[in-house]
Amino acid sequence: MGPSGYLSGVPPLTSIPAAANHRNDQSAGPEPEVERAAAPRLADQVSVVLLTYNCAHRLSTVLDRLESLAVTVIAVDNGSSDDTVAVLRERGLRVAALGHNIGAAARNVGVELAPTPYVAMCDDDGWYERDGLARAANLLRQHPRLAVVNGRILVGPEQRLDPISAEMEASPLPDPGGVVGTPLLGFMAGAVVVRRSAYLEVGGYDPRFFIGGEEETLSFRLAKAGWDLRYVPDVVVHHRPSLANVTRLRSHGMRSTLWNAWLHRRLGSALRWTAFTLADRPKNRDWIVGVTMAVRGLPWVLREREPMTRELDDRLRLLDRRRFAERRPLWSRRDWQPPADPEPTEASR
């Protein structure tokens, strides 16, 4: 059973036909005006899937920005109890209103509904620049094994570079060439443009992860299936985050990384990553809750375990070395605390 079948009420990831995968005609001859007329329109290539949750009070800015892209926007609401769905419908968007919060797996519903070959994932606290979206679509069209284009994330009105973007830019993974961008083995859920067919092929987001590190298992499945993931800084994503629930998600992130180690890594790699995770994370309540949740899920994890190839595991260990070098003191109990923020976080929190 695919991931979408684990939760009743979540539509299975069936193969809804998407728009044809256009390619640029590189042959000489046509006048420039003819070439421009024949180029695929952005709206025929990319749709936006917007994930929302209890954000009616701050949604107007995001919707204004997304509407300016002039592409199809499909909103998937994760069971909001405020006026979020009404705000979305007032804008004339296509809205899939779910009865309850299913976390990141709600994106699967939007991808199913998308009429285009590529889908830009968006949370209710961010948006894309149009030129970057066109850049991502062109790359996906030109490189048939490219599944994910992760954009450069600029945070807040001051447009600070997100540290995750800097980390991606400095990825130590070897580049086989042939595809623009920095090779990745992971991505940020609300800052990627994905190939719809690849996403559906590997089953999308697994509802059992709900939220917190849910991207990792999807990125591993894509890599194991032979798909490429790239960081492309020309694709710009603006992020206006709320930090209210950051601390609540730490235990979920720890649980998810332990699950992923035993779902996807080879034995030696899984053992090393488990030991590192247990040693590195601050020894506090989040540590206890994360380990407890991981242990509870261990039966299904081991039952579905499918280790990656040695070559892929070797690439992953290149990323591990950087993390190992930054390990925190063993008995640390403190973690970073965000500033006070009364707002709920983005869509699937």
Q: Looking at the structure, do residues 36 and 108 belong to the same domain, yes or no?
A: yes
* The pLDDT value given to residue 83: 97
Q: Looking at the structure, do residues 179 and 254 belong to the same domain, yes or no?
A: no
Residue 347 placed within a domain: no
Instruction: Please state the domain count of the chain.
Output: 2
Sign for the CA dihedral angle at 98, 101, 102, 103 comes to positive
Give the CB-side neighbour count of residue 55, counting CA atoms within 13 A: 28
* The pLDDT value given to residue 150: 98
Q: Looking at the structure, do residues 131 and 224 belong to the same domain, yes or no?
A: yes
pTM, to two decimals: 0.83
Q: Does 345 score more than 60 pLDDT?
A: no
> How many residues does this entry show for the chain?
349
Percentage with pLDDT > 70 across the chain: 81
**DSSP summary character for residue 209:** G
Phi, psi of 318 (to 5 degrees): -60, -40
Tens-digit pLDDT profile for residues 163-222? 999 999 999 999 988 899 999 999 999 999 999 999 999 999 999 999 988 999 999 999
Q: Angle 214-224/250-264 helices, nearest 10 degrees?
A: 20
CA separation for the pair 293, 191 (Å, rounded): 27
Last residue of a domain, one of 239, 266, 288: 239
For position 63, which CATH number holds?
Answer: 3.90.550.10
- Residue 40: pLDDT band (50, 70, 90) is confident
Residue 338 placed within a domain: no
* The pLDDT value given to residue 104: 96
Q: Looking at the structure, do residues 273 and 220 belong to the same domain, yes or no?
A: no
Q: Looking at the structure, do residues 184 and 307 belong to the same domain, yes or no?
A: no
Last residue of a domain, one of 239, 260, 294: 239
Q: Looking at the structure, do residues 19 and 66 belong to the same domain, yes or no?
A: yes
Tens-digit pLDDT profile for residues 116-166? 999 999 999 999 999 999 999 999 999 999 999 999 999 999 999 999 999
Give the CB-side neighbour count of residue 105, counting CA atoms within 13 A: 23
Tens-digit pLDDT profile for residues 247-291? 678 899 999 999 999 999 999 999 999 999 999 999 999 999 999
Average pLDDT over residues 16-43: 46
Tokens 């994330």, residue?
A: 153
Q: Looking at the structure, do residues 215 and 258 belong to the same domain, yes or no?
A: no
Structure tokens at 47: 């749709």
* The pLDDT value given to residue 111: 98
* The pLDDT value given to residue 198: 98
Under DSSP, is residue 304 helix (H, G, I), strand (E, B) or coil? coil
Please, which residues have CB within 8 angstroms of residue 230's CB and are 6 or more apart in sequence? 139, 146, 148, 149, 150, 179, 180, 181, 182, 183, 184
Q: Looking at the structure, do residues 267 and 309 belong to the same domain, yes or no?
A: yes
Q: Does 61 score more than 60 pLDDT?
A: yes
Domain membership of residue 179 as a residue range: 9-24+32-239
